[in-house]
Amino acid sequence: MKRLIPVLREDGVDSDLIMVIRTILAASKELAFRISQGALSDVLGSTLDENIQGETQKKLDVIANQLFKELLQDERDVKAIASEEEDDIVAVNESGKYIVAFDPLDGSSNVDINGQIGTIFTIFNGKDEIPASDWRQFAQTGNEQICAGYVLYGPSTLLVMSTGIATRVYTLDLTHGGFLLTIPELKVPEQTAEFSINMANQHDWLEQTKHYINDLLTCNDKRYNMRWNAAMVGDIHRVLTRGGVFLYPQDIRPGYQQGKLRLLYEAFPMALLMRDAGGSESTGEGSILRQPLLELHQRIPVVMGSESEVVQYQSLASLNACSGVENVGTAMAMTIP
Ligand code: AHG
Ligand code: MN
Ligand code: MN
């Protein structure tokens, strides 16, 4: 089985970028170890703090953020970093070539139940003309990502990553401490009968989502199954592996009118991995990857997975107009009958 670094070299990845990827993975290996120790390494439970999104921080959110931040701050080629758990970007090295954004711990609510959790990351080229301390370093579209990936801390620790050629899966070999290539090219199956959405929000969905899910549930051709992990890494990993569709759409709850997931370090990297695995990705109206980042912690509605499902969902977008919603950028409060 091939090791990660030779695969990256064969793919023609810049050696400086390889160093940055190594640093991210060094942090994730340390995190994988601490997670596997659970209560023995004192990583469970909550802090008394909230992050910029107003969410209570778990101890592990803070520990994970510190790990990634500290290791990346020592990296010569990193210009700036952005994290879900940091209000502002962190300037690192003015002459660094790359900028890195991450969700250090995705699926925090699963921490205390020993469920699936992960780390999501993305790397862009830094902009020479913009100072390292200026958040507009990150004001790029998803198509400009040069590397995206996630580490899934499950029964085994997996790295799913693309540098633009293919979405590859690596498994952490605990005996030697390195990631080994276990699925060279992940391909999202085209046929599917599985969907992933938090059904508890159905009364607050827009017409597009209500109609789409209702059509799946009443479909005569096949019987759809439903899965919801409450950790995007776990749900997207399942969809990448055996097909299906994942949705976190906007809805009328206060704070959810652009959905819940963050564009920079959740939607962008997952959309790139989906694209490079032959799947589709959308805001419900158009490609996530073509969206420009307008603010650091911007949220975005997400639908991704097997192409036929994403196309079908998108074809229902005009129904939202009946509810008074213009588009994802201007979705306002509305009433649903
Ligand atoms: P995070 O733990 O980084 O805040 O992300 C949690 C996200 C995502 O992983 C998941 O799909 C979604 O929140 C679940 O949201 P609900 O609790 O609303 O279902
Ligand atoms: Mn997350
Ligand atoms: Mn998180």
What is the residue-wise DSSP string for 241-255? Answer: HH--EEEE--BSSTT
Confidence of residue 57 (pLDDT cuts 50, 70, 90): confident
**What pLDDT, on the 0 to 100 scale, is given for residue 333?**
33
Ligand 1 pocket member 232 (CB < 6 A): yes
**What pLDDT, on the 0 to 100 scale, is given for residue 324?**
58
Mark 154-184 as b/e (b = at least 16 C-beta within 10 Å).
beebbbbbbbeebbbbbbbeeeeeebbbebe
219 vs 110, more confident = 110
| pLDDT exceeds cutoff 70 at 323 | no
40 vs 93, more confident = 93
pTM for the predicted model, two decimal places: 0.94
| pLDDT exceeds cutoff 70 at 234 | yes
Segment 83-105 shows an average pLDDT of 98
**What pLDDT, on the 0 to 100 scale, is given for residue 331?**
37
Ligand 1 pocket member 57 (CB < 6 A): no
Other CB atoms within a 10 A radius of the CB of residue 48 amount to: 6
Ligand 1 pocket member 198 (CB < 6 A): yes
**What pLDDT, on the 0 to 100 scale, is given for residue 230?**
95
**What pLDDT, on the 0 to 100 scale, is given for residue 334?**
34
Over pLDDT 90: what percentage of the chain? 85
Q: Is 42 left (phi over 0), alpha (psi -120 to 50) or beta?
A: left
Q: Which amino acid is at 173?
A: D
52 vs 291, more confident = 291
Number of alpha carbons in the 13 Å side-chain half-sphere of residue 294: 9
How far apart are alpha carbons 290 and 17 in whole angstroms? 23
How far apart are alpha carbons 151 and 154 in whole angstroms? 9
Confidence of residue 325 (pLDDT cuts 50, 70, 90): low
Segment 45-63 shows an average pLDDT of 81
Counting ligands in written order, which one lies closest to the CA of residue 230?
Answer: 1
- Closest Cα to atom 12 of ligand 1: 230
**What pLDDT, on the 0 to 100 scale, is given for residue 186?**
98
Confidence of residue 48 (pLDDT cuts 50, 70, 90): low
Distance 221 CA to ligand 2 centre (A): 34
How far apart are alpha carbons 208 and 185 in whole angstroms? 33
How far apart are alpha carbons 102 and 200 in whole angstroms? 28
Atom of ligand 1 nearest to the CA of 84: 3
Give CA separation, 76 vs 26, 62, 119, in Å: 15, 24, 22
| pLDDT exceeds cutoff 70 at 335 | no
Segment 24-28 shows an average pLDDT of 98
| pLDDT exceeds cutoff 60 at 278 | yes
| pLDDT exceeds cutoff 60 at 329 | no
Distance 270 CA to ligand 3 centre (A): 14
What is the residue-wise DSSP string for 55-109? Answer: PEEEHHHHHHHHHHHHHHHT-TTEEEEEETT-SS-EE--TT-SEEEEEEEEE-GG
| pLDDT exceeds cutoff 60 at 140 | yes
Segment 45-72 shows an average pLDDT of 86
Mean pLDDT check: name the lowest of 1-5, 158-162, 227-231, 328-332.
328-332
Distance 57 CA to ligand 1 centre (A): 13
Write down the mean pLDDT value for the chain: 93
Distance 262 CA to ligand 1 centre (A): 10
| pLDDT exceeds cutoff 80 at 336 | no
Over pLDDT 70: what percentage of the chain? 95
pLDDT digits 0-9 by tens, 178-226: 999 999 999 999 888 999 999 999 999 999 999 999 999 998 888 999 9
Ligand 1 pocket member 103 (CB < 6 A): yes
Segment 321-325 shows an average pLDDT of 67
